[in-house]
Structure 1
């Protein structure tokens, strides 16, 4: 059974409950001071706790989507399984395509002509995409947190369904949605940094992804028609992509994002002693030291339950024209999908409304 399968989760939970019942039933029979009864009681407790911890761990992983498979959990889902070398002539590859309410979702591999990176993505094409072959569309790059699974953007946040609903209500114009995870070299967390001598993650998203999508789909190439959205690590990446590459993106939404690169055991040495590079990846440093980029951003947080609330307030206070910043602050809410689902009904339409829509072809 797969790591994220309901069957495995239910089976483990049932075994945990059965273990608890068995412990209660057998415990009186193991009364005594000899070594065998003591070992028996210790074995029952250890087995009960192991099953309970396993059930809780599977539940947490199922909800947050930390690991997508057993290979992902064990660190075996790396190398060629995650990264393929793509030459400049290599194009986007479609692995699967299926109809969904309001459009179609295609599973693709996006090559990096300049960075030679490659990553899986899911592309939502609204119904309007298939009605007029001359029409071109704005596009949104949506990023998960780390380690993340791009399928969570569909199963947990229902971004395609939300976008299709907003289009049907005429809240927004039709747009193409590109759903990905922010790390292109799992299990490493690149934090969307162009690592010296390493993966050029920022350039991959800002240049290669946009070029590959625009070459294959009818999306507008100009920065005024491209936005980026993400949660947690993806939120930090969304802000950084818009602020550091305003030539590529004109708007961004950060759901519970942070404002400075996290460096820990999952990232390794991202800057190799280059303080100037570290500073450029610090969004507060950019606001204080560099010219404000001509972009619009929306940041979200919660007064109670989110560790980024005060940093978000400081970020909003530091923004100056021509950059524009808006906020969506909940009274309470944790760092989880439930909170982001409460924010997306406003955040997603806001982002699409910032994007330029090309005039219809005559």
Structure 2
């Protein structure tokens, strides 16, 4: 037994001193235990590494879940503020609506929607300057091209038109009588020409194409007339944003003459919303019953379609006379008024054939209002002396807001 030879299990050579002289493979109980010990140690390390990996994966999953839940909660808060803002806007609680849109912006400053909705709100309450501020901030935070185009549209009047063409101011303006040179009258009234330029402006989707347009109401204080002094005429201009530029699409001569056209004056331009459309409406009425006998009327009902004003009813040119039963266009005007649910005005037009608006309270939004009346007329003294000073003067009130 003691001299029994042992051979290498790996290569078959005779073992010496517990190890193969050929391949070095060990033999004997102590060497196998060492190998087992090493295997056990490696297995423990593997288990530890696997455990650490599992823990890390589990931790990452927990962090991802926390992040997702936090993001979902943030999105939920954002959506809630947008929904509340819309709800308060419909209820005309503008302060609470604005607070919710501002809260949504605080949650996600890079989201476009709350800036746009807040700008809509400020436009709704006639604060375009605040709308421009909101859009400017939105452009900076989001880089939105659509918002930049809208911002350019909102600032075009202040930054371009007013510096170039001037701006009318609200107030009372005096018009004086003077010796006339015309065939029909020995006395005439001189219009007040102290104002010119932008009277008012409005941004809306006038044509229903999903993009806003800029409506500008402009006063030309040097409107030429044949053989007479300059008059004042009001124009409508429509601008659109095209290829990052603001472009004038169309212009319409709306009311003429105004601001000193007669002993009494009654003019206005307003918006009327009906059947999903926006109508631009207005009329001017000047009557001369002190120095002449007659009235001058101009009127319009327009829509804006495919880049152009489209007249639905109204006068092509101002009409004048002491009575208007000869005017055939009154019927179309009355029919259109009925269609817009302005039945009181329609009935009046059918009675006197004068194509003008008188029930201004039916307007959805007034943009310009001009009224004038004679002050200081001393009829007896004028008849006795014929002196112009006894005719007094006409005071004209121009309103562009706060109707």
Q: What TM-score bracket applies, with the shorter chain setting the length?
A: under 0.3
Q: TM-score, normalised by structure 1?
A: 0.27
Bigger-Rg structure (1/2): 2
Q: TM-score, normalised by structure 2?
A: 0.25
